[in-house]
A and B are shown apart, each in its own frame.
Chain A
Amino acid sequence: MQDILFYVFAALTLVCGFLVVANPISRSPVTSALFLVLTIVSLSGLFVLLHAFFLAAVQVVVYAGAALVLFLFVIMMLDLRAEERRRITRFGLIGGGLAALAVAWLFRAVPREAALVASGPPHVEGSTSALGALLFTQYLLPFEAISLVLVAGMVGAILLSRKEPS
């Protein structure tokens, strides 16, 4: 059952991910953003299969909820209708394909060697309380530091996107 679910979610992730970057029907950024939502939701399905329940919830809330709404708002503000008529250049497509193939070639041994890295059959762990305990004891300092990153990001976003006082 879990194996079938893995294949379903993996196929959904990859197909939707492909439709984000190269949609043959529509070149609109809105379509890409909505397929990105689907990609992220199916990725969180994979997280559930990996027993990372808290991260699956965070993934949906933060990415599909907050980040994608931000994307859609920016697309709405920019009025990118003129951009849709631009074509993907052949040079970019070939270059991008070559780069992607090169990275895939670099990682070609990963699936074969992965069994060596894995230490035995996985057991059920990854409960939210264990993650929280780790986060608030051993990783307390990075946890506090990340709040500063968020504040800096917020201030930066406000500063960058406000209108110039003229």
Chain B
Amino acid sequence: MTVGLGHYLTVSVVLFCLGLLGVIARRNVVIVYMALELMLNAANLALVAFSRFNRNLEGQVMVFFIITVAAAEVAVGLALIVALYRKRQTAHVEDLASMRL
């Protein structure tokens, strides 16, 4: 059976689900952030696969922009985590509940 669009999309969906599992189950902010990156990468894989199998380069342009935004997002997010750690001395999700109702 030759590898088609469906195979790539299956990989992308499973990777996205793994990232979601990590975001919800893990309690360490840094690892939650890595799981978010996994989800972004799963979306990238789906876009590149669509772009290839539809003979359309615009998906790749979109992925280029997503990678750039993700780079800026990593910088800002990690700066936020560092600032949070300076204030609270913790990087644990359950200790950061001061905005809870």
The interface of chain A, by Cβ under 8 A from chain B, is 2-3, 6-7, 10, 13-14, 17-18, 20-22, 29, 32-33, 36, 39-40, 43, 46-47, 50-52, 54-55, 58-59, 62-63, 66-67, 70-71, 74-75, 77-78, 80, 83, 86, 88-89, 92-93, 95-97, 99-101, 103-104, 107, 110-112, 114-115, 117-120, 122-123, 125-126, 130-131, 134-135, 139, 142, 146, 149-150, 152-154, 156-161, 163
Contacts and interface: CB of A to CB of B under 8 A. Distances in A.
B21 A99 contact: yes
Contacts of A32: 30-31, 34
Interface in B66-87: 67-76, 78-83, 85-86
A14 B15 contact: yes
Main secondary structure of the interface of A (DSSP, over half): helix
Contacts of A110: 6, 9-10, 13
Contacts of B63: 52, 55
Main secondary structure of the interface of B (DSSP, over half): helix
Contact of B76 (A59, A92, A157): A157
A101 B21 CA distance: 9
B19 A17 contact: yes
Contacts of A6: 3, 7
A43 B76 contact: no
Nearest to A148: B72
Which of A13, A89, A120 has the most chain B CB atoms inside 10 A of its CB? A13
Nearest to A51: B52
Interface size class on chain B is: 35 or more
A21 B26 contact: yes
Interface of B: 2-11, 13-28, 30-31, 33-35, 37-38, 41, 44-45, 48-55, 57-58, 60-61, 63-65, 67-76, 78-83, 85-86, 91-92
A88 B22 CA distance: 10
Contacts of B67: 55, 58-59, 62-63
B100 to A, nearest CB: 16
Given A110-B6, A111-B7, A149-B69, A92 B61 contact: no
A39 to B, nearest CB: 7
A2 B92 CA distance: 43
Contacts of B10: 110-111
Nearest to A66: B71
